[in-house]
Amino acid sequence: MELKDKLISSFFAFEEQVDVNNDVHQLRTKAIKDFETIGFPRKKEEDWKYTSLNSILKEDYSLFPKKESAIDYNDVKKYFIHDIDTYCIVFIDGIYSSQLSNTTHDKIDACLMSSALHSPKYKAIIDNYFDKITPKDSGLNALNTAFSKEGAFINIPKNTMADRPIQILNFSTGSEAALMVQPRNLIVVGENSHVQIIERHQSLTENPVLTNSVTEIYAEKRAQLDYYKIQNDKGSASLIDSTYVEQKQESFCSVHTFSFGGKLVRNNLQFFQRGERIDSTMKGITITEGKQHIDHNTLVHHIEPNCESHQDYKGIYGDKSTGVFNGKVLVEKEAQKTNAFQSNNNILVSDKATINSKPQLEIFADDVKCSHGCTIGQLDEEAMFYLKTRGIPAKEARALLMYAFANNVLDSVKIPEIKQRINKLIANKLNVNLGFDL
C-alpha cells in the first residue's frame, strides 16, 4: 500500500487513541480530508522543485510504535545540553518519556501537548493559537494536524523570563523496522516574556525514521525568543521540519538551524510580522557529506511598517550531497521602512556536490531597504597555501577554512554551551583534530 493510503486508512485506528469529542478533533478530521486531497508535495510544485520526497516515502513505516521503549539516560546524555540547567521535554518514538523529561508548571509551562489539549486550564490557549498560522495549502501540515496528539507545549505567561532554556528532544529507538512520527509543538511567549528553546531529533539506530514535525510559535508584544535547532541525525533518518512564527509589535525572534546530519532534511521556516518594530532573525550552518540532501525554505512576510529581518545561511557541501536554499522575502505595500537582509553563502568542497540557491524578493512597498546576496564558491587556494606553509596539512587546513567561513553565524548564539556544542559537532563533521576546541 502507498504511504498516503496507509496514512489515510490508519486515521480510524488513530481515532481510537484520542478524545474525538475534543474541539481539536474537528481540525483533525478536516485535516485528514485536506491531506487526502493535497497529498505529499511533488517536484512540479515550485517550492519543491529541488527536493524529491520519493526516496523517503517508499519505506513501509510503522505509524504507531507497538511498545513503549525505555532508554537509559547515560546512553543518550550526549544528545542533551547537560552542562547547564534546563527543562527537558523528551519523546521516545513519539511517546512522552517522563523518566527523561524535566517539565515544569512553575511560573511557566513546559509540558506536553497531549495534556494541554485535554486540560480545561489551557483550553483558551489552544482555542486561540492551535493550528492558526499553519498554511492550509500544505499536505504535510494537514497530515501533521490530522495526527496531532503529542509534542511540546510551552507557555510563557506575560512579563515572565523563563529561568532556564527548554530542550525538546525526540529520540527514535529503532524498535520498529521503520518509523514515522509527527510531533506537534505549540509555543506561546507572552508580552514582555523571554524564552530560549533547543530542539533536536535523534535516532539511535540505523533503522529508517521519517519525522514530519510542525511547530507553531507565537511571540506577543515585546516578547523575545531564541530557538536553536540541532540537526545531526543518522544517515537513515529524514526530517521535514515546518516552523511558523507569528510576531507582534516590538518582539524579537531568532531561529538558528544547524544542519549536519540526516538523509533528507527539509526546513520550512516562516515568519509573519503582525506589528511594528519587529525583528526576525534566521541563521543557519549546513555541512553535508555523502548523499545527504538538505533544503532550507524560508519566508519572511513583512506585513507592517518599520520592521526588520535578517537571514544568514552558510553551507558547505561535500561528496555528492545536495543543498537547497530558497529564501523568500515578501514586503507588503503597507510595510514601509522595512529593512530586510538576506545572505546565503556556499562552498562546494567536491565537484559532485550541488547547491541550488534561489533568493526571492517580492516588494510592494517603495520606501524599504532590502538586500540579498548569494555566493557559491570553492575554498580559496591562496588561503590553503598560507595554512600549508605553516605546516598544517591539507585536510586540517581545509577544515580551518571551512570553520572560518561559517563561524560568524555563531556570533548570535546566546548560550555559550550551545556554541561549544556546535563547534564540537563541526569539528566532528569535518573529521579533524586541530589540537584545540573550536
Residues forming contacts to another protein in the complex (CB under 8 A) are: 380-383, 385-394, 396-397, 400-401, 403-404, 407-408, 410, 434-436, 438
Radius of gyration of the chain (CA): 21
Residue 120 or 391: the one with the smaller Cβ distance to another protein is 391
Residue 335 or 422: the one with the smaller Cβ distance to another protein is 422
Strands of 146-278, DSSP E: 152-156, 166-172, 179-181, 184-189, 194-203, 209-219, 224-231, 237-248, 252-259, 264-274
- Give the 3-state secondary structure of residue 421: helix
Residue 70 or 404: the one with the smaller Cβ distance to another protein is 404
Rounded Cα distance between 157 and 88, Å, is 19
Residue 385 Cβ vs another protein, minimum distance, rounded to whole Å: 5
Q: Within 108-229, where are the H helices?
A: 113-118, 123-129, 139-146
Residue 390 Cβ vs another protein, minimum distance, rounded to whole Å: 4
Residue 394 Cβ vs another protein, minimum distance, rounded to whole Å: 7
| Residue 94 φ/ψ region, left for φ over 0, alpha for ψ in the -120 to 50 degree band, beta for the rest | left
Alpha carbon 239 to chain centroid, angstroms:
9
State the chain's maximal CA–CA distance in angstroms: 71
Distances (CA, A) of 289 to 108, 199, 208, 315: 40, 22, 18, 11
Residue 383 Cβ vs another protein, minimum distance, rounded to whole Å: 4
Residue 386 Cβ vs another protein, minimum distance, rounded to whole Å: 4
Looking only at the bridges linking them, the beta strands covering 95-96 and 87-92 are antiparallel
Residue 57 or 383: the one with the smaller Cβ distance to another protein is 383
Residue 221 or 419: the one with the smaller Cβ distance to another protein is 419
Q: H or E segment at 29?
A: helix 23-38
Residue 409 Cβ vs another protein, minimum distance, rounded to whole Å: 10
Rounded Cα distance between 352 and 148, Å, is 39
Q: Could you give the angle at the alpha carbon of 424 between the alpha carbons of 418 and 426, nearest 5°?
A: 105
Count of Cβ atoms closer than 10 Å to residue 15 Cβ: 14
Q: Is 333 exposed, middle or buried (0-12, 13-18, 19+ CB in 10 A)?
A: exposed
Alpha carbon 32 to chain centroid, angstroms:
23
Residue 183 Cβ vs another protein, minimum distance, rounded to whole Å: 33
Rounded Cα distance between 364 and 147, Å, is 38
Residue 26 or 378: the one with the smaller Cβ distance to another protein is 378
Sequence length of the chain is 438
Residue 298 Cβ vs another protein, minimum distance, rounded to whole Å: 24
Residue 32 or 400: the one with the smaller Cβ distance to another protein is 400
Residue 57 or 392: the one with the smaller Cβ distance to another protein is 392
CA neighbor of 405 nearest in space, from 372, 432, 378: 378
Residue 435 Cβ vs another protein, minimum distance, rounded to whole Å: 5
Residue 404 Cβ vs another protein, minimum distance, rounded to whole Å: 4
Residue 12 or 436: the one with the smaller Cβ distance to another protein is 436
Contact at 8 Å (CB) between 432 and 396?
A: yes
Residue 403 Cβ vs another protein, minimum distance, rounded to whole Å: 6
Rounded Cα distance between 313 and 259, Å, is 11
Residue 188 or 409: the one with the smaller Cβ distance to another protein is 409
Residue 81 or 410: the one with the smaller Cβ distance to another protein is 410
